[in-house]
Amino acid sequence: MTRTLTAALAATTMLTGAAMAQDTMIIGITQNNVGVDSYQTTYEQAFIAAAEANDAVETVVLDAGGDVARQIAQMEDLIQQQVDAIIIWPTNGEAVIPAVRKASQADIPVIVTNSNIAEQGQDFIASFSGPDNITQGQRAAEIMCDKFKADGIETEAKIVQISGQPGYTTAIERAQGFEERLPEVCPDVELMETQPGDWNREKSQQVMEAFLTKYDDIDGVYAGDDNMGVGALNAAKAAGRAGDITFVGATNFAVGYDAMAAGEYWGSIYQSPVDDAEAALQTAIDVLNGEDVPKLNYFDTPKITQDNMQEFDKPVF
Amino acid sequence: MTQPVLRLEGIVKTFPGVRALDGVDLEVRPGEVHALMGENGAGKSTLMKVLGGILQPNEGRIYIAEQPTVMTSPIEAKGKGVVFIHQELSLADELTVAENIFLGELPRKSFGRVDWARLYAETDAILSQLRVRFDARTRVGDLSIANQQMVEIARALTVDPRAVIFDEPTASLTDAEKSVLFDVIADLQKKGVGIIYISHRMEEIFRITDRISVLRDGSYRGTLVTKDTSEDEVTQLMIGRSLDLSRNASHHELGEVALEVRGLSCGHLYRDVSFNVRKGEVLGFYGLVGAGRTEIAETLFGLRTPDAGTIRIDGKEARITSPIDAIRQGIGLVPEDRKGQGLVLGMNCRDNMTLPQVDGLTSGPFVSDGAEIEIFDRYKDKLDIRTPSWRQTVGNLSGGNQQKIVIGKWLSMRPEVLIVDEPTRGIDVGSKSEIHNLIRDLAAQGYAVIVISSEMPEVLHVSDRIVAMYSGKVMREFTSEEVTEDSLIQAISGIVPDRAA
Amino acid sequence: MTALTKAGIGGLLARQGILVAFVVFMIVFAIANPRFIDIDNVSGVIRSSAILGVMALGVTFVVIGGNLDLSVGSMMSFSTIVVLDLHDTLGPTLAIPAMFALTLCLGAFIGFLVGYLRLNSLIVTLGMLSAIHGLTLMWSGGQNMDIADKWGTWFGFFGRGSIAGVPVPILMFALAAVVLSLVLSKTPFGRKVYAVGGNGTAATFSGVPRARVVFMTYIISAACVATAGLMQASRSLGSQNTVGQGMELEVLAAVILGGASLLGGSGTIFKTVIGVLILGFIQNGLLLIGLEFYVQYVVTWVIIILAVWLDVAAKRSRLWSPIA
Amino acid sequence: MSQSTPQPIASPVEADTPPRKSRSALFVQGAIWGFVVLELIFFSVAGRFLSVSDTAFLDLDNMLLLLKQSAPIGIIALGMTIIMINGNIDLSVGATFALSAIVLLDSMTWPFMAAMGDWAIPLAWLFALGTGVVLGAINGLIVWKTGVDAFIVTLGSMLGYRGLVFMYNGEQPTSHLNWTLVDFAEAQFLGLHTATWFLLGTVLVLWLVMTRTVHGRNAYAIGNNREAAVNAGIRVGPHFLINFMLIGFLAALSAVVFYSESGSVNPNDGMLYELWAITAVVLGGTKLSGGYGSIISTLGGVIAIQLLRKGLGYIGADTETVNLVIGLILIAVLFLDRQLNRKGSEELKI
């Protein structure tokens, strides 16, 4: 009895689903943690705007609030609602793999956005769309090193790192890229210590205050994003030591851009959440249209420093 | 002569700085009801805790059926046949009657499961022995206070006890319930159980006990045979002097009517209550627990909203919707539950006493230390409050001194009407008479005082007039000249006398 | 005689245990790294503890009044975001009172629910933790809030300025501590807070307006949160929506470390300040000797348990609990 | 004097049944299920207009998913019910959850375990559950032996255990994806997911424990009136210890169920779970002061919260609305509960 009912339900939903699929495609997205910072919020707004601009697309927009269990539940919900494609911004690059596999078993293509999932899950996704965070870390190391060379202190400089929220793929990859690349380009620069700033400006400011007390000589700070970089800058300014320190961040925020314009902040990586969101949506649409999509669909995130910042618009977030 | 069921020999118990029990002896024979008396702080409860296995004595021996015994927990004591019935209800009110009666010893089946069938069967057997009319599966919270007390008593019967200790068991029982209790005690006596009966109520002591042992200041003062002694003798042994409990009507002139209540009603708590009290007069309210006396006091103090009726203070109609209103209009209330309602136990003596008027004791925005200490010192002397300093935490004082702090709190406000609810509940005999005298003095100074009490001697002793209540209604009002114990008992039992008035 | 001395030491530990622990702790860390007691470092720690500290002062009132406030972190985010946003629309002179008014409204709402409706404070403030976060996101649209013209405003004074060489946040923390300490220990209202927390029923029976007192403790807490939000906003001139997230538990930890009983009726502002400083110096000290940040969690755990244990042990004058 | 003849009222001893509920308790405990039904109706109707999805909210598969998704918080909340009935609280469950998960996943990579193949799985489960029990026991012992309030003890260990989580593997996630384990965790038996079976199994066992066993009834008695329990000779300490071990075990069980499927744990995982668990328990009507509450109603509370999240997502509510609504509903339920339990105008105004 129950079985026939479910079967009947399934049949009708499949019928309507098929009928709908001809004119609109339904794309579900489960994001990491909207509202935690401007990047994620702007991403969501850009995503919704892009979807509204496209008549062929309808979206189900969900937010996992940073909780991996909630994200897996949302994946299951999207599968159950039989959306045509799922975009996921993973809270944890490995924990979501089984849920991604489940979607792929249900023949729903999965597009990972912003921060990739681990190697084992690559078979189950249609594509990854987002920045290359390891490259970003590497580029930040290059920016830092170039600046030290220009200042002529590349043989003696001492730096500290303020990393993102512990455990998040983006934070891990950026730190990894930075720590791998730095000795290659500037072997004599010493990375004295790394502490997490949790993507949080205030936390980062506190960490920097402690660094300033602990180390008399700090020549550079690498922060996992500009939000934290500006926090560190604030701490250094309060201690009157901002002038001696080269600040390099990532994900250029408006505050970072302003600080750069003021000559207080050296450089960052230009990464637009609007590009990020639009690229993810476009990738999903391409996949649904049966186009050939590369597995790793990076959008470019160039270096931005005081020297070339006039080439970039001020970020909107 | 049969051997005693229970014998204590030279029990000593010390706490840091205090010798709470100093070589106490006690002997309970089978089938005997043995009263244990003494002022609060005399060591009764410490002794009972030692006997109940809650405390371990430093010296001395306990013999059960002449076998030396060590008891390290209440459950062990119960296992050895010594059962303790607590004064303060210690029931889990979310659990059923049966679960409470067998608390701590629920019958078990395999895998730690409760054997419900056995539990209910045994509970029913005990309840029928007690002749009570509630079901074993009733939630205890749904029972009346008196029935809860019966549950407490039923606990003693889950084992075949050798000795049962009753600590103030009648505090909240009606006369009918009391007589059931006394029947139960008589049944136990017949079975050869030894009973220790702790109470401050002389009438009960003389009604049911065989012998009376007295403690004072932690030491044993002797044992009297009940039928050969008198209240006076017992009292003297307890406090070292005799106690005056004579009638005590005012000899001074009464003043104006300070408070007049007309047709006051509140739900089913009380209906159509009218009375007045004059300046310089003590008005007694006598009745059983639940007769509505306390509820009237709470209404006058703004803690309950009446459905109907008027309250006049000094001839002017008063609207009282909160204690703040009441205080402003000159009413003070010494509540019945001293620790729960009267005092903030963790605060010091001075702060407790000045709490209602602290707003007025300021210099600038701050509380004036000097003004507060002055008030405290004044009432400390006036009421003879024994405390080393105003800094002393109230929780560390004896019951009598705590009560004086509460009384001082209201006296210092100079109220028009002072309501004192159960002024001497849980207070030892010595402090009791002090407080009685205090109440008389207040009247003599021109205060209007209302005393609510469940103890007839107390009401008779302090009141100029007595209002008798039964089940939410005023049955009758007596002057101190016309009142007799019989008529008072009849009135509070709902028996309407043939009044030829 | 020796017993007496022992009791004396025990008594001192009991009364001032947390202060003794604080001193010992400072000495140990100072030996491990002399920079720890460097004036710059000390002033730095106090400055960064100031925001947490001001919030803890308010929560001390709530806790002494016998309640909890888990919404302060979320509320602090709200104040920060609101004042930053209004700074650019209304200007700083109007933004600050407007933000205070809005934050006090939230405090009044909680105070009404807990004080007048007598709802359980743990659950009410837990609900408000979530609800206020929602409000904050609605206000900001989820965006970071930054002051447009960071160099043309005097608004940074509360977080970055200094008077006679002393940073303003430290001065504000000290001023708030002194004022609130006087309010709590010297005024009739303070007395009533202790009475309501110690025994609410007895307080009512003494004519203390219990509901109003509880209500006021939440108003004070909200005012402290607003002050903290002002300092936070002024310090960074820009903020994320989650700036105060998780601070409610740190604040509570500081208050508990200071020895306020969660049952209400005990605690002082001075002890709370010590609790705040201990937390701040633990964090700083561990960073200075090169331990990872998470070691501080474990250390805080141990210190909280030991501090409270010592406190209750002294009150019952035996080390181990009498629980059978 | 009319002497009423004593009439012993023997209640008919029925079969071996636990105490029945009084009517008011049934009403209050039923309220949460009424709320669940209300949510179902609301989201079904609102979903017609607001959802872009074509599948109905009340679809059977969706309801089965609901149960499965309720499991992680649900299993913890069930344990929290017992802790709260017992008169305590446990704020450290989120951290216990994370640490157990780390042990579960990391232990499978230990050389001797790796050598065992899939036989390592049950052993890894055992290690994880053992971790939970030990962490719970630490809390329980501290509460028992020091007499410090459970709120403070577990507030401390919430920090401390989280510190241990970080110390185990730095800030890196701990991962071990074992497809056998994932397949088991994703399996459906008789239509129900593995996690659902664990959830319902836990409900059944704990319900039996709390209503039928001496330990359960004593836990109620202790929470209801601790002094009475002590005087009746119930040893309070061991009951505390057992219940803290039980909630530690359940936090670990929740981790086992969840991470068997997801295979990777971030050091921040499980944060705020304690607050959600407490919320579910309170929604289910358990008293914060102890002594009163029911396992079944907590299940209702858990489902109500999960339904709310799921439904708000289904009708397309955004993050801020979800936060606002969940917070206000919690307060509203508390308010309603109080109104329902009022004694009316005769209440003392204190």
DSSP string, D29-98: HHHHHHHHHHHHHHHHHHHHHH---SS-TT-HHHHHHHHHHHHHHHHHHHHHHHHHHTT---S-HHHHHH
Read off the pLDDT of each residue in C98-117 and give the average, rounded to a whole number. Answer: 96
Task: State residue D14's pLDDT score.
Answer: 39
Residue B389: inside a domain, yes or no?
no
Q: Give just the sign of the alpha carbon dihedral C216, C219, C220, C221.
A: positive
D330: closest chain C residue by CA: C127
> A78 to chain C, minimum CA–CA distance in Å?
24
B342 contacts B397 by C-beta, under 8 angstroms: no
Measured between beta carbons, the chain A residues lying within 8 angstroms of D263 are: 94-95, 97-98
Residue B429 neighbours by CB under 8 Å, 6+ apart: B39, B200, B235, B238, B239, B243
Judged by CB atoms closer than 8 Å, whether chains meet at B104 and D212 is answered as no
Residue B114: inside a domain, yes or no?
yes
What's the distance, CA C275 to chain centroid? 9
For the record, the structure tokens of D48 come out as 């017609």
**Of C247, C250, C249, C257, nearest in space to C302 by CA:** C257
Residue B318 neighbours by CB under 8 Å, 6+ apart: B311, B312, B325, B329
- CATH assignment at residue B322: 3.40.50.300
Domain range for B164 is: 6-239
Q: Which of B327, B344, B366 sits opposite C202 (nearest CB)?
A: B344
Q: How far apart are CA C80 and CA B195, in angstroms?
A: 70
Measured between beta carbons, the chain B residues lying within 8 angstroms of D220 are: 92, 94-95
**Interface mutation target, options C205, C213, C315, chain B, most CBs of B under 10 Å:** C205
Q: Classify domain A2-131+273-300 by CATH architecture.
A: 3-Layer(aba) Sandwich (3.40)
Q: Per mean pLDDT, which of C110-114, D11-15, D227-231 is the most reliable?
A: C110-114
Q: Which of C204, C294, C312 sits opposite D163 (nearest CB)?
A: C294
CATH placement of domain D57-333: 1.10.3470
C 28-67 residues with CB < 8 A to A: 35, 38, 40-41, 44, 47-48
Read off the pLDDT of each residue in C268-293 and give the average, rounded to a whole number. Answer: 86
Read off the pLDDT of each residue in C235-249 and give the average, rounded to a whole number. Answer: 85
Residue ranges, comma separated, of all CATH 3.40.50.2300 domains in chain A are 2-131+273-300, 133-270
Task: State residue D127's pLDDT score.
Answer: 96
B121: closest chain D residue by CA: D13
Model confidence band, residue C33 (pLDDT cutoffs 50, 70, 90) = confident
C190 contacts C183 by C-beta, under 8 angstroms: yes
Q: Are B203 and B283 in the same domain?
A: no
Q: Residue-wise pLDDT tens for chain B (501 aa)?
A: 578 888 888 899 887 656 778 888 889 999 999 999 876 667 787 888 888 887 888 888 889 888 888 888 777 888 888 888 876 667 888 899 999 999 888 888 888 899 999 999 999 988 888 777 788 888 888 887 778 878 888 888 888 888 898 887 876 677 777 888 888 888 888 888 999 998 877 778 888 999 999 888 788 888 989 888 887 788 778 766 555 556 666 567 788 899 999 999 988 889 999 999 999 999 999 887 778 889 999 999 999 989 899 999 988 898 899 999 999 999 999 998 888 899 999 899 999 999 999 998 888 899 998 999 999 999 998 888 888 888 888 888 877 888 899 999 998 888 889 999 988 876 776 778 888 888 988 888 889 999 998 777 788 888 999 999 888 889 889 988 888 877 887 787 776 655 443
Task: State residue A4's pLDDT score.
Answer: 40
Q: Does B182 touch chain D (CB under 8 A)?
A: no
> A287 to chain C, minimum CA–CA distance in Å?
30
For the record, the structure tokens of B241 come out as 């002097």
Asked whether at least 3 C-beta pairs link C and A within 8 Å, the reply is yes
The partner residues of B59 in beta bridges, in order of sequence, read B12
> A307 to chain D, minimum CA–CA distance in Å?
35
Residue B400: inside a domain, yes or no?
no
**Of D274, D275, D294, D273, nearest in space to D285 by CA:** D294
Read off the pLDDT of each residue in C16-35 and give the average, rounded to a whole number. Answer: 81
**Of C269, C246, C247, C252, nearest in space to C304 by CA:** C252
Model confidence band, residue A17 (pLDDT cutoffs 50, 70, 90) = very low
Region of residue C263 (left: phi > 0; alpha: psi -120 to 50; beta: else): alpha
Judged by CB atoms closer than 8 Å, whether chains meet at A95 and D265 is answered as yes
Angle between helices D194-212 and D295-314 (to 10 degrees): 150
C184: closest chain B residue by CA: B366
Q: Does B104 touch chain D (CB under 8 A)?
A: yes
**Of D253, D239, D337, D349, nearest in space to D297 by CA:** D337
Q: How far apart are CA B309 and CA B317, in angstroms?
A: 11
Asked whether at least 3 C-beta pairs link A and B within 8 Å, the reply is no
Residue B393 DSSP code:
B
- The pLDDT tens digits for D293-302 are 999 999 999 9
Q: How far apart are CA D20 and CA D216, in angstroms?
A: 15
Judged by CB atoms closer than 8 Å, whether chains meet at A166 and D267 is answered as yes
D248 contacts B116 by C-beta, under 8 angstroms: no
Report helix, strand or coil for B62.
Answer: strand
Residue A1 has pLDDT above 50, yes or no: no
First vs last Cα of chain A: how many Å apart?
55
Task: State residue C194's pLDDT score.
Answer: 96
Judged by CB atoms closer than 8 Å, whether chains meet at D346 and B131 is answered as no
D283: closest chain C residue by CA: C123
D85 contacts D91 by C-beta, under 8 angstroms: no
> D37 to chain B, minimum CA–CA distance in Å?
28
**Interface mutation target, options D44, D54, D106, D274, chain A, most CBs of A under 10 Å:** D54
User: How many domains does the structure of chain B reveal?
Assistant: 2
Q: How far apart are CA B254 and CA B359, in angstroms?
A: 33
C199: closest chain D residue by CA: D350
Model confidence band, residue D132 (pLDDT cutoffs 50, 70, 90) = very high
Give the rounded percent of residues in chain C with a pLDDT score beyond 70: 95
Residue A10 has pLDDT above 60, yes or no: no
> D61 to chain A, minimum CA–CA distance in Å?
7
Task: State residue B281's pLDDT score.
Answer: 92
Burial class (CB in 10 A: 0-12, 13-18, 19+), D349: middle
A170: closest chain D residue by CA: D172
Give the strand pairing for B194-198 and B33-37.
parallel
Q: Are B295 and B419 in the same domain?
A: yes
Number of helices and strands (H, E) in chain A? 10, 12
Give the rounded percent of residues in chain C with a pLDDT score beyond 90: 50
Measured between beta carbons, the chain C residues lying within 8 angstroms of B365 are: 186-187
Task: State residue B343's pLDDT score.
Answer: 93
> C208 to chain B, minimum CA–CA distance in Å?
7
Task: State residue D8's pLDDT score.
Answer: 36
- Which chains have 3 or more CB–CB distances shorter than 8 Å to chain D? A, B, C
Phi, psi at residue A199, to the nearest 5°? 60, 20
Q: Are B455 and B334 in the same domain?
A: yes
Give the rounded percent of residues in chain A with a pLDDT score beyond 90: 43
Mean of all residue pLDDT scores within chain A: 86
Residue type, A300: D
A238: closest chain C residue by CA: C160
Report helix, strand or coil for B265.
Answer: strand
D 141-170 residues with CB < 8 A to C: 142, 144-149, 151-153, 155-167, 170
Q: How far apart are CA B326 and CA B324, in angstroms?
A: 5
Q: How far apart are CA D244 and CA D250, in angstroms?
A: 10
Judged by CB atoms closer than 8 Å, whether chains meet at C262 and D323 is answered as no
Task: State residue C4's pLDDT score.
Answer: 44
Can you name the CATH fold of A133-270? Rossmann fold (3.40.50)
- Domain positions in chain D: 57-333
Judged by CB atoms closer than 8 Å, whether chains meet at C298 and D331 is answered as no
Q: Which of C44, C240, C284 sits opposite A200 (nearest CB)?
A: C240
Torsion of CA A64, A67, A69, A75, to 10 degrees: 20
D235: closest chain B residue by CA: B104
Model confidence band, residue D15 (pLDDT cutoffs 50, 70, 90) = very low
